A and B are shown apart, each in its own frame.
Chain A
Amino acid sequence: MLARPSDAGTRLREEKHSKGVWILVSIAAVSSLYLLLRPSDDAAVVRFWTFDVNHRNHYRENIAQWQAQQSFTVDLESLEYEALDQKLMSAFHAGLPVADVIEVEMRLAHKIWLGPVDSVGFSDLREHLETEGYLRRIAKEAFAPWSVDDKVFGIPRDLNPVMLAYRADIVEAAGIDVSQLNTWDKFIEAMRPLVQDLDGDGSIDRYILNMPESLGGVLSTLIRQGGQEYDEDNFPTLNDARNIRIFTTLADWATGKDKVTSDVTPFQGTFFRLFSEGHFLCVVTPDWRTANYEREAPSLAGKIKLMPLPAWETGGRRTSVWGGVMLGIPKTTQHFEEAWALAKELYLTPAAAEDHYRAHNIVSPNKEVWFRSFYDEPKPFFCNQPLGRLYLKLCDDLPPRSPSPYQQQMEFEVMTSFVKLRRIVQQKGLETTEQIEPYAREILNDAQRNLMNEISRNHFHSVKGKIFQK
């Protein structure tokens, strides 16, 4: 490999420089030229960020129509979830540039309340919402996640009621009438015969319920349904007795020879593929998620129906809540009035409500539109069920959503605790809920301690003598 000296000598005279130098100098020259000539962001007056490509595609048309009547233009961009997270945090921390209107999801927004309340980068919109009457017209529950210390940091988009989506084709072919199955116990027992090894290779290929463990969402949703995540002061209550019971049951479902749940991460191609194949029959589904099924798994058309969640106890709550999205206006905006006008146009008009429903199946928190007939239109994809009406019926019984900045840690503890419990149950071969419960209690007590410890460590709240309040 080493060149002989004479070799090196002749080469030395021929090319004094590494070939790499010339290649890189030309690359540098071309790319610098490109960067210099690249048109810089022209001053679209109001800049709008959303965390979802599909939202962007849908807003694009609305905004195009709307801004034709306005004196300013809107620049619409969609950012990836984690990217938006990163950008917002650095913008609010370090004063980096940020858009004028931002659509964010709950978990992300909550981290922003983690510091001193005065340093929250979003404007307090309470006054505007109050004087223009929106505080009355919009369901109270919708504001809860965005309200800290009497300040309202965002306009709510949704209530996000939850139902259970099930493969009607398979379930009905098996002669099961789900309308009678009003508790989880009855539901699982009735469905149990459907858990099968279809191709006879010795491994089960059909489960009742998909319960992803790598994501806190579904687990937390089920806990919220029949248990309690936070007390009135928004302190976590993860080791609540009801939570322990729910955890115990879930761990029982996910283990043993009579395992009835699959663990497929949602939001990935694999999920929709396996849902279509009938690898699992039921999915915990908030309103916003139904549109994903239509888009990503078209082959499921006419095969899925929705039903209220079976209750944890007879007569118990038949729904839950999962997710939440708001529009916020950063304090740094130079165009508050324009931003506010845009935000209202996108979220608060009756037309916007209809639009959110038609595009994403999301029901509006604006009570004044609840009687509208578009919510009653049958949806062919869901066997002609009137999706909106079904979800709206559940909106009176929603469990609360908390503004706690520790929501992410909460979901992390929930999923971690569950995986831990599931493993213990597997290793020790525990069969009955009585055997599982003591372990569930211990694990949740532990998780609760972790959360409280995390909260008590936050000097920014304790310095002010109070922790976040409703």
Chain B
Amino acid sequence: MKTYKSELLFIQKVLTYILISIFSLIIIGPFIWLFCGAFKNNEDQFNFLFLPMGEGFLGIEWSRLTLEHFRLVLSGLNFGNSMMNSFFLASVISLCSTFFSAMGGYTLAKFDFRGKSLCNGIVFLSIIIPPSLLLAPVYQLLYNLGLLNSYWALLLPSMSSALGVYLFRQTCINSVPDELIYAARIDGAGEWQIFRHIVVPIIRPMVGAFLLISFLATWNNFLQPQLYLQDDIKLPLSVAISQMRGAYSTNYGAISAGTIVSVAPVMLLFLLLQKEFITGLTRGAIKG
């Protein structure tokens, strides 16, 4: 009986490992393919599924690999410039949006004031309204304000996020004790100081998570920059890559290299902030 059970457990373990590994392989396969494609010359692109086989180390013909695609993407197509644009937009928007959203969320969680329930309603409304409803009227608004083709068109509407306010509100309700705030008030701390020195440190994991969420969202945003920006020099990577795909539709190597260049920075950032991200992200949803 006992051996039967332990055998069962063993089989279950093996099966689990196999299934998870297969699934991981499916997930990672396209990445590997993309990576190989970026280093293959265009002739080998169709001849070999992954890297060109040959006499070299590990059975791979290393001499047939090329850095040409990366050279084209980074110098010829000015992806370096687009990357800076993406960095600028994503970092500024994520910092501002996290800051203002945290302030809003904290207020809705810990203050009683007239119109509070109205404000809560506004937050929910903003989350539910699909962004596509706003595309046309916001475009017209930005036109009327003369903000088209300027970064303000992207920065201003993203200064604060309803989802952020909601997540911070939940976090504050769950993890900031009222007593701490009352005690600080009695000690004569100003409201700004309380927020800055007491609340922010407590909700730190959520701050990290939301920074990353909004960074990712801005980095990967395509529609708004595509619609609002005109000058090539201002375009972020998401728009640049879609244009490059059209212009270099026959050059799969260059497309692969361009994609890798565009995706690598967010991957790196995620690796750096992984822990905070997953804690903050999931905690907000679980307790909320």
Contacts and interface: CB of A to CB of B under 8 A. Distances in A.
Interface of A: 1-2, 12, 16-21, 23-25, 27-28, 30-32, 34-35, 38, 41, 52-53, 77-83, 86-87, 90-91, 94, 96-98, 267-269, 272-273, 296
Contact of B91 (A17, A31, A82): A31
Given A77-B232, A90-B227, A25 B95 contact: yes
A91 B230 contact: yes
A107 B273 CA distance: 47
Given A96-B148, A269-B251, A20 B212 contact: yes
Contact of B230 (A53, A81, A96, A268): A96
A94 B251 CA distance: 34
A187 B6 CA distance: 72
Contact of B87 (A2, A20, A30, A41): A30
Nearest to B265: A27
Given A35-B88, A269-B45, A296-B250, A19 B244 contact: no
10 contacts: A20-B207, A23-B272, A24-B94, A27-B87, A31-B91, A34-B84, A80-B243, A81-B247, A97-B230, A269-B45
B8 to A, nearest CB: 29
Specify the main secondary structure of chain B where it touches its partner: helix
B250 A267 contact: yes
- Of all A-B residue pairs in the complex, the 9 with the closest CB atoms, nearest first, are A80-B243, A31-B88, A18-B208, A28-B91, A80-B246, A31-B87, A27-B91, A20-B211, A269-B250
A16 B244 contact: no
A79 B46 contact: no
B36 to A, nearest CB: 15
Contacts of B233: 38, 41
Contact of B95 (A21, A77, A94): A21
Contacts of A27: 87, 90-91
Interface in B197-250: 197, 200-202, 204-205, 207-208, 211-212, 215, 226-227, 230-233, 239, 242-250
Given A18-B207, A267-B250, A87 B276 contact: no
A1 B247 contact: no
Given A31-B88, A32-B92, A81-B246, A2 B279 contact: yes
A269 B248 CA distance: 9
A34 B278 CA distance: 32
A17 B204 contact: yes
B91 A24 contact: yes
B134 to A, nearest CB: 17
A24 B215 contact: yes
A98 B239 CA distance: 18
B143 interface: yes
B107 interface: no
Given A25-B95, A53-B248, 13 more contacts: A1-B279, A2-B279, A17-B204, A18-B205, A19-B273, A23-B269, A24-B95, A38-B84, A80-B247, A83-B243, A91-B230, A97-B231, A269-B251
Contacts of A90: 148, 227, 230
A97 B92 CA distance: 26
A98 to B, nearest CB: 8
A23 B215 CA distance: 12
Interface string B173-217: 000000000000000000000000100111011011001100100
Interface in B85-123: 85, 87-88, 90-92, 94-95
Contacts of B84: 31, 34-35, 38
Contacts of A272: 250
B91 A267 contact: no
Interface in B68-98: 81, 84-85, 87-88, 90-92, 94-95
Nearest to B231: A97
